[in-house]
C-alpha cells in the first residue's frame, strides 16, 4: 500500500502527497477553502473560471491551450467542490508522466508552475482582473444557474435543499443565485480575489510517481509569491440536529416523469458522528443495488425507475431521490418511508448488512486506483479533521456492527418532501 505524506508547506497550506509507480498520469490539485454563503458563493465559484481564461504569460485561451498542448495535452480545470457548507475552489490538473515521453519533458514541474501562475498571476488590465473575462464568465455562470433545470434529478435535489435549508448556508447553490451572479463587478471582484487568496486555508493534493520531496520543491517554487495574511479564515458547517414538522412541497413542470426527493436530518447521532457506520447505514438503506430502496421500491414493487439515498455526513443530512410515475406518488412515498422504518426496527438481514459492508469496503479499496477519487476522499478527511488513510478507514467500516446502523436509522428524522411533477394532474 502506498503511503500518504501530509505536510504544512507554507503557512495555512497543507500538501498531501501519494507516491505510487502505478499510474502513467500525474495528478495535482489546489483548493481554497471558502465558507459557503449566499453573498459569496457566486464570487467564489466564478474566480477559478475567470483565472482559467489566462495568466500573464499566457493571457488568452488560445495561448494557454497551446501551452497545455505542448505539455503533451496536460489538463488544468477549474474545480468547485462542496463539502457541507465549505466550498473548495481552485484547479485540478493531470499530466503524462515523463517516463513515457521523449526528452526531458518535466511535466510535473511545468504543470504545477502553470497552475500556480493561473491562480496567482492572472492576466490583468491596470492591476485589475480583465473586465471582458469577468463579464463573459458571469454570463456563463448565469447560464449554468439557469441550466440547472435541464437535468430534472439534479434540479429536484437542488430545490429540496433550497426549501429544507432556506435559512442555512447549505441551501445555497454552489454557483449562487442569478441575482448575486449578475451583481458581480470586476473592480470589487479583484479586491475580493486578492483577499480570498491571502486569507484562505489551502489544500493541495499530489498523486504520481514523483517523490514527496520533488513535489514539495516544485510547489514551493511555483507558489513562492502566494500572499499569506496574519490570520486564516475559519470555515465550518452548521449542523442542525433535529427536524421541525415535516414540510410537503409540490411543484409542476413540463415533464413526463415525476421526481420525488426527500430530505432527512441525521438527528442525535451527529453529536458524536460515526462516519463509517453512517456510510454503511446509507448503503443498507438506499445506496446501490443491494439496498432496501433498490430491492423493494424499484425491483419488487416497480414503483420507480431509480431510488437511492445519499448522506452528506459533513452536514448531517440524508437525501432520497427517486424517479416515479406521478400517479404513484402516495404509494412510492409510503414505501420509501416504510423501508426506513424497517431499518429502525432492525429488520435488516445479515446478508443485507454484510453485503453493504463489503460493498463499502470494496469501493474504498477501489479508490486506490484513481487519483481524482483519492483527492476527494482525502479532502473530505481533511475537512472533517480525520486522519485515517483509505485502508484504515476501510478497517473502521469492517468493524461496524448492526446495532450502530440501527442506532443511526432510529436517529434520522423526516424534514422535507419535495415532489416535482407534470402539469395539470392532481396528486
The neighbour count for residue 289, using CB atoms within 10 Å, is: 11
DSSP strand pairing (258-265 vs 317-324):
antiparallel
Q: Which residue has the cell 458524536?
A: 272
Residues that bind other proteins (CB under 8 A): 20-25, 60-62, 65-66, 68-74, 94-96, 99-101, 132, 136, 139-140, 143, 146-147, 149-152, 253-257, 288-290, 295, 298-299, 302, 304-305, 323, 325, 351, 354-355, 358-359, 361-363, 365-366, 368-370
CA angle 53, 55, 56 (to 5 degrees): 140
Q: Which residue has the cell 492591476?
A: 127
Q: Which residue has the cell 480525520?
A: 386
The neighbour count for residue 224, using CB atoms within 10 Å, is: 10
Grid cell for residue 308: 437511492
Distance (Å, whole) CA 150 – CA 345: 39
Grid cell for residue 261: 426527493
Distance (Å, whole) CA 28 – CA 25: 10
Distance (Å, whole) CA 265 – CA 298: 24
Distance (Å, whole) CA 249 – CA 272: 31
> What contacts 126, CB < 8 A, 6 or more positions away?
none
Q: Which residue has the cell 440536529?
A: 241
Q: Which residue has the cell 472533517?
A: 384
How far apart are CB 166 and other proteins at their closest, in Å?
Answer: 23
Torsional class of 321: left (φ above 0), alpha (ψ -120 to 50), beta (otherwise): beta
Identify the CA nearest to 323 among candidates 196, 193, 421, 216: 421
Amino acid at each position: 500500500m502506498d503511503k500518504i505524506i501530509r505536510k504544512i508547506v507554507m503557512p495555512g497550506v497543507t500538501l498531501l502527497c501519494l507516491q505510487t509507480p502505478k499510474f502513467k498520469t500525474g495528478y495535482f490539485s489546489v483548493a481554497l477553502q471558502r465558507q459557503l454563503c449566499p453573498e459569496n458563493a457566486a464570487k467564489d465559484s466564478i474566480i477559478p473560471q475567470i483565472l482559467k481564461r489566462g495568466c500573464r504569460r499566457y493571457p488568452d485561451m488560445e495561448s494557454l491551450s497551446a501551452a497545455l498542448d505542448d505539455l503533451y495535452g496536460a489538463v488544468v480545470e477549474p474545480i468547485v467542490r462542496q463539502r457541507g457548507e465549505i466550498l473548495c475552489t481552485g484547479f485540478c490538473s493531470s499530466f503524462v508522466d515523463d517516463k513515457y515521453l521523449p526528452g526531458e519533458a518535466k511535466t510535473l514541474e511545468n504543470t504545477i508552475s502553470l497552475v500556480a501562475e493561473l491562480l496567482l498571476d492572472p492576466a490583468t488590465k491596470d492591476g485589475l482582473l480583465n473586465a471582458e473575462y469577468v463579464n463573459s464568465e458571469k454570463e456563463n455562470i448565469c447560464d449554468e444557474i439557469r441550466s440547472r433545470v435541464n437535468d430534472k434529478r439534479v434540479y429536484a435535489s437542488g430545490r429540496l435543499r433550497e426549501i429544507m435549508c432556506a435559512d442555512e448556508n447549505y441551501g445555497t447553490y454552489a454557483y449562487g443565485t442569478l441575482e448575486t451572479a449578475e451583481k458581480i463587478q470586476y473592480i470589487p471582484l479583484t479586491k475580493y480575489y486578492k483577499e480570498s487568496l491571502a486569507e484562505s486555508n489551502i489544500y493541495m493534493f499530489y498523486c504520481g510517481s514523483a517523490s514527496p520531496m520533488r513535489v514539495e520543491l516544485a510547489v514551493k517554487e511555483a507558489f513562492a509569491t502566494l500572499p499569506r495574511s496574519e490570520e486564516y479564515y475559519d470555515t465550518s458547517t452548521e449542523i442542525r440536529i433535529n427536524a421541525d414538522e415535516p414540510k410537503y412541497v409540490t411543484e409542476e413542470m413540463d415533464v413526463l416523469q415525476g421526481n420525488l426527493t426527500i430530505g432527512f436530518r441525521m438527528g442525535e447521532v451527529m453529536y458524536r458522528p460515526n462516519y463509517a457506520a453512517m456510510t454503511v447505514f446509507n448503503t443498507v438503506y438506499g445506496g446501490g443495488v443491494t439496498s432496501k430502496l433498490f430491492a423493494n421500491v424499484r425491483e419488487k414493487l416497480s414503483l420507480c425507475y431509480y431510488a437511492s439515498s445519499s448522506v452528506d455526513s459533513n452536514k448531517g443530512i440524508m437525501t432520497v431521490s427517486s424517479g416515479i410515475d406521478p400517479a404513484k406518488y402516495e404509494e412510492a412515498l409510503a414505501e420509501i418511508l416504510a423501508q426506513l422504518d424497517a431499518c429502525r426496527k432492525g429488520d435488516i438481514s445479515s446478508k443485507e448488512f454484510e453485503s453493504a459492508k463489503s460493498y463499502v469496503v470494496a469501493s474504498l479499496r477501489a479508490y486506490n486506483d484513481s487519483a481524482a477519487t483519492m483527492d476527494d476522499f482525502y479532502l473530505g478527511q481533511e475537512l472533517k479533521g480525520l486522519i485515517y488513510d483509505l485502508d484504515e478507514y476501510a478497517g473502521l467500516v469492517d468493524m461496524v456492527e448492526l446495532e450502530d446502523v440501527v442506532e443511526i436509522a432510529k436517529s434520522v428524522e423526516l424534514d422535507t418532501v419535495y415532489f416535482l411533477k407534470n402539469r395539470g394532474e392532481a396528486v
